[in-house]
Amino acid sequence: MANREYDYLFKLVIIGNSGVGKSALLLRFADDTFSENYITTIGVDFRFKTLKVDNKGLKLQIWDTAGQERFRTITNAYYKGADAIVIVYDTTCQQSFDDIEKFWLNEIESYAEKNAELLLLGNKSDLSTKQVQSERVQEYAQKRNMMFFETSAKTADGVEEAFKKIAIKLMAKRNQQVQDKRNKRKQQKQSSSSSLRTDDSQQYGDGKQDDEKSNVNLWANNSTEQAKQGQQCQC
């Protein structure tokens, strides 16, 4: 990372029902802090977090969106350009999980990038009043091709691991995209070189045929001249 703070920059957007702990998760991950006082997010908020993985710097720009319906027309614009969408539900609230299928996935399909990665977080795992069973969510996440973790913003359990895993996945995906582009350019270059060789071969072959035709005409002309001389009077 010489002369640079990071090697990769990724945008993440956190969504989910109001009160599931989106802001608490962001503060725990970005600033390692937690507050018992619940404050509703007005519109959007964001934080930066830099990680180091395999000697590479990963900088995450994480947007925290308001879950209340009156703010959704504002927050929809922040899906654009997101590399990953973090969907949060409350493990003690069944409705917050059910609304993922009923509402939030439709939002993602409507506004997010088609190839955005999905991370599903079941927050408040430290509470004993769990309503959403982990096994059910795990099956759902696999069906929907999501990474899944249970987390607690209060105790920090699972928070850093979840964000780090999605960051590593994004880094691998970016590397693969770069490699695919290199391979494509290489194939195009090889195809272009092959085409040039074919054209040269055709041009050389045409020249050879022209020479053979010229030789045939030359011999034909010589035979004609000899025949004429044979017909001349020898008196």
Q: What is the pLDDT along the chain (235 residues), one digit of tens a residue?
A: 455 789 999 999 999 998 999 999 999 999 999 987 756 555 578 899 999 988 999 999 999 987 555 455 556 788 999 999 999 999 999 999 999 999 999 999 999 999 999 999 999 999 999 999 999 999 999 999 999 999 999 999 999 999 999 999 999 999 999 999 999 888 888 887 777 666 666 665 555 555 555 554 544 455 555 544 554 444 3
Give all strands of the β-sheet with 56-65 in edge-to-edge order. 44-53, 56-65, 8-15, 84-90, 117-123, 147-150
Q: How far apart are CA 50 and CA 30, in angstroms?
A: 9
Residue 109 tokens read as 């399909």
Cβ-Cβ contacts under 8 Å for 100 (sequence gap 6 or more): 16, 87, 89, 120
Domain at 8-181, CATH class: alpha beta
Query: pTM for the complete prediction?
Result: 0.77
Q: Closest by alpha carbon to 83, among 182, 172, 179?
A: 172
SS3 content of the chain, % helix, strand, coil (to 5): 50, 20, 30
As a whole number of Å, the CA-based R_g of the chain is 34
Residue 165 tokens read as 């895993």
